[in-house]
Amino acid sequence: MKSIKQVISFRTFSRPIKIILILLALFLFLALIIPLLFQKNLANYLEAKMNKTLKGHHVTITSAHFQILGPSLTLNDLIIKRDEFPDPAIAHIKKIRGSIDWRALLSLKLVADILIENPKMHINLLQVQQEKKRETKVTDESWQKSLKAIYFLDINSFRVKDGDIIYIDTPKEEPLHVEHLNITANDIDKEGTPEKKYPSQFQVDGVIFNKGNATIYGDADFLKEPYAGMITRFKLTDIPLDRFKSILKRRNIEISGNQGSLSAHGEVQYDPKIKSVHIENLTIKDINLDYIYSPGSQGSKIAKKEQKEITKAAKKAVEKPEAISIKLDHLKMINSEFGYSDKSRTPGYRVFISHFDLDAKNLSNKASEGISNFNLNGLFMGSGKTFAKGLFRPRKAGSDFDLKMEIKQAKLVSLNEVLKAYQKVDVSKGLFSLYIDLKLKDQQISGYIRPFFENVDVYDPEKDANKNLFKQLYEMLIGTVAELLENRYEAVATTVEIEGLVDNPQTSTLQIILGLLKNAFIKSLLPGPDKPKS
């Protein structure tokens, strides 16, 4: 009987099998031994290659591993820092793995598949501000070139698994946080053709601010110059809005009370030739917003500058078809509150509409999209039933709209801050109603304001016991006049006609309406020559 050694003796194999075994042994040696010999220097080599590509940034790689079986190249703990502000690091990627796409190899194409695991990006306001000043921006630097510097191959598929992005606006505020971010993009190496403009497919999903969800998917041409083009569908669900407090505060807008949420879905097309945003539905609910009017504040300066830029961009969009096109089919705001606080007067005051519901349709920055309309309901100062409706028509020469608004029987006591600010008086009871009808066409404003006052009582001995004698007599006089008018007409009523030209035709529609409403409201409360001009 032959021994086991004799059975498996190398000499017993045929010549072809011997050759195969020798090649296999050589391959295993190369796969297992060779990487160990040079992988210590591999990380340094790849760092240098990437640092040449990413200007203004510095890359460090803890370790790199090349595997012949596969083959694949894995980078561990890749960190990217800005040269000017190295702390905190912009990105910390736990693992990047690149491998040969064998399916493409069957078609005689040598391309790579990239998998990025657990990337964490950290961005703050200072970095964003410095990025705006850079001559060469990160968006100008090809991410494909950076990866190709590592893998020496074109990228076919790109995946991000469980990513994390943090943006810190100010240290005192909670960061804007996107977590569990997953990205998949295929056929990246394909170029668009007339028959198939966007040959690549991609999908993105993640959790926004711990509660909301976002899903984006579509087709793209990642090789398009000077930047990638794409057409994509998006869906945002229950995105919390309270995290934007610090950003809005710099523009004199404050979120208080109810924090609010946003949901939306639609389509975006963006490439060097076409730029369009089509939001089919946008819903904002349960938010309390206040605009703080404080001339000279940093927020007012920022808002004024941005409003000029927005107005200029809107005018350009109406006039030039190649500018970005924005269309919103349906906007809904549910159970919200909007306030206006004026800190420029002494004392300051706040007016608001609670239980605010808005339904607006066909909003666009293109005249060709036709007429937009809206309906609004709420409670003025928490008590006066409020209704408004309007039509908006985009025009090259400026704004064009019709607006009707009614406020019915708001408690006048709730307006004491306003009365003190403008008339230095307050009331103990009474009802206030206001009817507004305004039109703007060809820069010409026309319409009327009709306020009503009912059961007004200006002087209250208990309430005003601490006021000086002259103040008490003044308020008693106004109260007596109001009472006489009420006894004669059942309500104090007047009509203020509005007519004139818009001084600046480039003023936005929203600015015009807010200015008119503010003046209309103050006019309705002032009995004398102190009324502001339209």
The pLDDT of residue 279 is 97
Residues 191-235 have pLDDT tens digits of 888 888 999 999 999 999 999 999 999 999 988 877 889 999 999
**pTM of the predicted model as reported, rounded to 2 decimal places:** 0.75
Asked, for residue 205, whether it belongs to a domain, the answer is: no
Least confident of 133-147, 239-253, 272-286: 133-147
Asked, for residue 333, whether it belongs to a domain, the answer is: no
Asked, for residue 426, whether it belongs to a domain, the answer is: yes
The pLDDT of residue 276 is 94
The pLDDT of residue 182 is 98
Cβ atoms of residues 157 and 113 within 8 Å: yes
Least confident of 42-46, 373-377, 468-472: 468-472
Residue 148 pLDDT more than 70?
no
Asked, for residue 167, whether it belongs to a domain, the answer is: no
Closest CA to 209 of 259, 266, 160: 259
Cis peptide upstream of residue 71 (ω within 30 degrees of 0): yes
Asked, for residue 112, whether it belongs to a domain, the answer is: no
More confident residue, 241 or 514: 241
Asked, for residue 477, whether it belongs to a domain, the answer is: yes
Output b/e per residue, 294-303; b: 16+ Cβ within 10 A. Answer: eeeeebbeeb
The pLDDT of residue 347 is 84
Percentage of the chain lying above the pLDDT 70 cut = 65
User: CA-CA distance, 166 to 492, in Å (whole number)?
Assistant: 57
More confident residue, 412 or 108: 412
The pLDDT-based confidence of 38 (bands split at 50, 70, 90) is low
The pLDDT of residue 510 is 60
Residue 436: C-alpha distances to residues 176, 283, 520 (Å): 41, 27, 8
| Count: domains in the chain | 2
Q: Please, what is the average pLDDT of the chain?
A: 77
Percentage of the chain lying above the pLDDT 90 cut = 31
Asked, for residue 139, whether it belongs to a domain, the answer is: no
The pLDDT of residue 327 is 94
User: CA-CA distance, 51 to 54, in Å (whole number)?
Assistant: 5
Asked, for residue 359, whether it belongs to a domain, the answer is: no
The pLDDT of residue 319 is 45
Residue 150 pLDDT more than 80?
no
The pLDDT of residue 140 is 47
How many H-runs (helices) and E-runs (strands) does the chain carry?
Answer: 11, 20
The pLDDT of residue 406 is 95
Range of the domain at 19: 1-32
User: CA-CA distance, 47 to 54, in Å (whole number)?
Assistant: 11
The pLDDT-based confidence of 109 (bands split at 50, 70, 90) is low
User: CA-CA distance, 180 to 119, in Å (whole number)?
Assistant: 10
Residue 469 pLDDT more than 50?
no
Classify burial at 422, counting beta carbons within 10 Å of its beta carbon; exposed 0-12, middle 13-18, buried 19 or more. middle
